[in-house]
Structure 1
Amino acid sequence: MYELLKALHLISIICWMAGMLYLPRLFVYHCSADIDSKMDKTFQTMEYKLFHYIMQPSIISSYATGLFLSSILQWANFSKPYFHWKAAFFLIMTVMHCWLLITLNKFAKGENKRSHVFYRIINEIPSVLMILIVLLVKLH
């Protein structure tokens, strides 16, 4: 059962990360669309489906399986610095997930004020966090 939960956790994280990496990239291209144009509506549909059909279920599953796996581990692991860093990076990723939803809603209302350059930079944050989390898990 433990190995199955680990597999489900990894699958959930991979799906979530795919969305975390792709949604800001969609925002980069969405910036060039005129408000209420066909392209704008297409991007809105793509962003909505990516967030609500892939990212939301994936983050919920990531948390559920991660918390369950954590409860199985010995409590001694929770006092180790790597676990605290991993949790902190995961929380930062969660905050970014919420910020992406807010941004998605701004695009839907035609209220985006940021440039494609901003979203290109933002697009790198999930990558850096993912690298740090994987290194922490594998090198602890």
Structure 2
Amino acid sequence: MYQYVLAIHIIFVVCWMAGLFYMVRLFIYHTEAQDKPEPDRTILSKQFEVMESKLWWIIATPSMYLVIIAGATMLHLAPYWWKQPWLHIKLLFVVGLIIYHFICQSKMKQMAKGVFKWSSTQLRLWNELATLLLFAIVFLVVLKSALNWIFGVVGLVAFAVILMIAVKIYKRFREKK
């Protein structure tokens, strides 16, 4: 039974992450559409709102809940995992990802009301946070080591710096066009 629940958990983690990554990409396009002249701005905004809503309520949010249910079921079926220090750190990162999810939901609702607080560059950086959380979670699950968390944090910080530099380089490249 555990292996079936694990398979479901992995499938919906993939679906959830795909939803989160694509949602923020839609936010970027939606934000950039605000620079377009009318009627393009209104047409694009309405289309992005439909796409964001469907992605959120049909894929991302149900997937998140199925991930949580499957994860809780696995912990119920294999309670010995609770004794593993890496699991506690992983669950902290999962909580961070859930918070990230609901911040994205708040952004979606703001944009639907015509409120655009973040620039497309800020949204690109925001998108990388989900990548960092995903890396941390996967490495903890695969390596099952909380003892080397200092090296993991240093690695994540280095990865974050590389991602931020890449976003900045891409921004300069876009601005030259």
Q: Distance between the aligned counterparts of 1:84 and 1:5, measured in 2?
A: 20
Q: Structure 2: how far apart are the matches of 1:25 and 1:49? A: 14
Distance in 2, Cα, partners of 1:56 & 1:82: 26
TM-score (norm 1): 0.95
Q: Which residue of 1 aligns with 2:113?
A: 109
| Distance in 1, Cα, partners of 2:47 & 2:106 | 18
Deviation at 1:2, TM superposition (A): 1.7
Q: Partner of 1:14 in structure 2?
A: 14
What is the number of equivalent residue pairs in this alignment?
A: 139
Equivalents in 2 of 1:42, 1:54: separation in Å?
Answer: 17
SS at match of 1:111: coil
Map 1:40-119 onto structure 2 (within 5 A): 40-75=45-80, 77-119=81-123
Greater RCO (CA < 8 Å, at least 6 residues apart): 1
Shift of 1:111: 1.1
The separation in 2 between residues aligned to 1:71 and 1:61, in whole angstroms, is 15
Query: 1:113, 1:86 → 2: CA distance?
Result: 31
The answer for unaligned runs of 5 or more in structure 1 is none
Calculate the aligned-residue CA RMSD, in Å: 1.3
Structure with bigger gyration radius: 2
Deviations 1:7-37 (A, max 9, x none): 1111110000001111111111111223960
Counterpart of 1:101, as a letter, is Q
Q: Secondary structure at the match of 1:32?
A: helix
What is the TM-score with the length of structure 2 in the denominator? 0.75
Q: Secondary structure at the match of 2:114?
A: coil
Distance 1:105 1:128 in 2: 24
Shift of 1:55: 0.6
State how far apart, in whole Å, the 1-side matches of 2:136 and 2:14 are: 15
Q: CA deviation at 1:46?
A: 0.6
Identity of aligned residues (%): 33
Deviation beyond 2 Å, 4+ runs, structure 1: none
**Does the residue aligned with 2:32 lie in a helix, a strand or coil?**
coil
Which residues of structure 2 form unaligned runs of 5+?
A: 145-177
